[in-house]
Chain A
Amino acid sequence: MEYLEKLHDAVLNGDPVTAVDITEKALGERIDPHILINEYMIRAMDEVGARFERFEYFIPQLLMSAKAMKGAMALIRPLLVGDGVDDTSICAVTGTVKGDVHDIGKNLLGALLEGGGFRLVDLGTNVSPEQFIDAVKENDAKLVCMSALLTTTMPGMKTTIDAFKEAGIRNDVIMLVGGAPVTQQFADEIGSDGYRDNASAGVVLAKELLGLGEK
């Protein structure tokens, strides 16, 4: 099974064609899909995130790795459900807050969350507090990541957190914030669980707060 290392390399090097080929071959040989995800792809995406944080990887490289992982996951995910094996990965809900239509940072975070093994529900842009709440309830999500690019729209993060409190589900989820105008002070004052200034560090923080991975 040495060839499986090529799956790791294909994700790390952003090679979607090879990632899909190897995944097809491995699934054809009835290799447990969880092994493909946990031992090869997540390991590769963790390394992608680390390289990105060290400025050794650029955003296009990160996007290509995400595409490779996504291609492989498209083959794997139906099997996780179809075989009656529950998809037990933790659900993360992402969205850019109400009034804001910018999404590059949020999409990078989403790619890295998926790469880190989360089940992603991306609500897109201009997301109201009610939409965040509904998505959390419908998907039993444990993580909410809100993004804003503008100083005008970032108060929407506080409004959303307050809406979670009112709905009585604030303590059921970890709520993280990020985006160009956001600071740690702002994150603290609005009652979020945390902030990071880049997508990769955001995933590390999410895992820490959820008790996953390294502390």
Chain B
Amino acid sequence: MNLKLISCEVFKHEFLHCISKTNNNIDAKFIKKGIHDLNSKGMQNRIVKSINKADGKGFEAILLGYGLCNTWVYGLVANKTPLVIPRSHDCIGILLGSKQKYLDYYFENPETYFQSVGWMENTENGPSIKKRSLQKLYGMDISQDKLKTLYGEENLDYLNDSLDQTKHYSNMAFIDTGLDSHKNYQKQAKSKADNNYWGFEVLKGNRKLLQQLVNGIWPESEFLVVNSGMMVQQSINEDLVTATTPISSK
């Protein structure tokens, strides 16, 4: 099969490995992780731009290497080419190879901060994302110096505490998909956890879902295939997403 893969760069190591092991022809495009910092529509627009470029170019399907992050996927319409999306809450479930495994671990350990090679490797957003990011829009990207100048030293602790997104974490889980780089991100993750006085553990990842995606094996329980003319809609059930007819064509 000729397949187009459009994926978040957090899966780049894993996908390149999976692509080397498939018989299908995969044309891969990786998009910056930083688009997660845009609002839902902004994130969707960036991905749709790549989908449109591939649509009608002879691919049998366009594979999307994304979870439901940021609600970006809702409202997405397949034009000439079917779209295939993993039914996963976010990239953590995909890296663990199962959304149930993710849920089981998460609800046992809700104060966990997850890391993977792809997460640690792709931290630079670039100026076009930075200036449109939600952090910028809501003034959460202000430096310590600027906060001090604007609000006074006496209010710094209060503001930092209020804006600290990591204060409730007590544990770090590094997902090991067996593809760490020469930079040894697992070791870096451990040291980050130590610096925060968090616990640390390594979770065994599983490339199964990513391999199935590029192999063209898309069981309904794990993947949503959005056929031409259909639209992705949120589901409150375990299937997470469904395909429906867009309102305009009903």
Contacts and interface: CB of A to CB of B under 8 A. Distances in A.
Interface stretch (B12-20, B100-108, B174-182, B190-198): B100-108
A210 B137 CA distance: 30
B157 to A, nearest CB: 11
Nearest to B235: A189
Contacts of A189: 236
18 contacts: A59-B138, A60-B139, A60-B150, A60-B151, A63-B159, A64-B151, A101-B111, A104-B163, A125-B168, A126-B110, A151-B68, A152-B102, A152-B103, A180-B71, A181-B68, A181-B70, A183-B71, A183-B234
Interface in B101-154: 102-103, 106-107, 110-111, 137-140, 142, 147, 150-151
Contacts of B151: 14, 60, 64
A190 interface: yes
A150 interface: yes
Contacts of A183: 71, 74, 234
A59 B163 contact: yes
Q: Which of B69, B142, B233, B236 has most chain A Cβ within 10 Å?
A: B236
B110 A101 contact: yes
Nearest to A157: B236
Contacts of B139: 58-61
B168 A103 contact: yes
A180 B70 CA distance: 6
Nearest to B102: A152
Contact of A151 (B89, B111, B138, B165): B89
Interface in A94-120: 99-104, 107
A129 interface: no
Contacts of B169: 101
Contacts of B147: 60
Contacts of A61: 139
Contacts of B162: 63, 104, 107
Contacts of B233: 185
A16 B111 CA distance: 33
A52 to B, nearest CB: 9
B155 interface: yes
Interface of B: 67-71, 74, 89-90, 102-103, 106-107, 110-111, 137-140, 142, 147, 150-151, 155, 158-159, 162-163, 165, 168-169, 233-234, 236, 240
A99 B69 CA distance: 17
Nearest to A182: B71
A8 interface: no
A155 interface: yes
Contacts of B90: 150-152
Interface of A: 14, 16, 55, 58-61, 63-64, 67, 99-104, 107, 125-126, 150-153, 155, 158, 180-183, 185-186, 189-190
A120 to B, nearest CB: 15
Contact of A155 (B71, B102, B110, B236): B236
B107 to A, nearest CB: 5
Given A64-B159, A102-B168, A183-B234, 10 more contacts: A14-B151, A60-B140, A63-B158, A63-B162, A101-B111, A101-B168, A150-B89, A151-B89, A152-B106, A185-B234
A125 B158 CA distance: 19
A150 B165 CA distance: 13
Contacts of A152: 89-90, 102-103, 106-107
Nearest to A151: B89
A102 B239 CA distance: 25
Contacts of B150: 60
B140 to A, nearest CB: 6
Contacts of B163: 59-60, 63, 104
Contacts of A60: 139-140, 142, 147, 150-151, 159, 163
